[in-house]
Amino acid sequence: MVEYDGDKRYEAIKYKIENEIPLDNKDIMDLIFLPLMKNKWVEDEAARKVL
């Protein structure tokens, strides 16, 4: 999962949520795995951001 850009996916999902755009299945799966993706946060901070 490290090869996926977690920051980019987080921002895309955050945009959808803030603009009340429904999340698709890929977005939901990415939310589950976001803490395991490459991102600028430490793992526990990434997990808290997803929740």
pLDDT score of 39 = 63
Query: 3-state SS of the chain?
Result: CCCCEHHHHHHHHHHHHHCCCCCCHHHHHHHHHHHHCECCCCHHHHHHHHC
Claim: this prediction has a pTM higher than 0.75: no
CA atoms lying within 13 Å on the CB side of residue 46: 21
pLDDT, tens digit, 9 for 90 and up, residues 25-44: 999 998 888 877 766 655 55
Amino acid residing at 51: L
In whole numbers, what is the pLDDT of the chain averaged over residues? 79
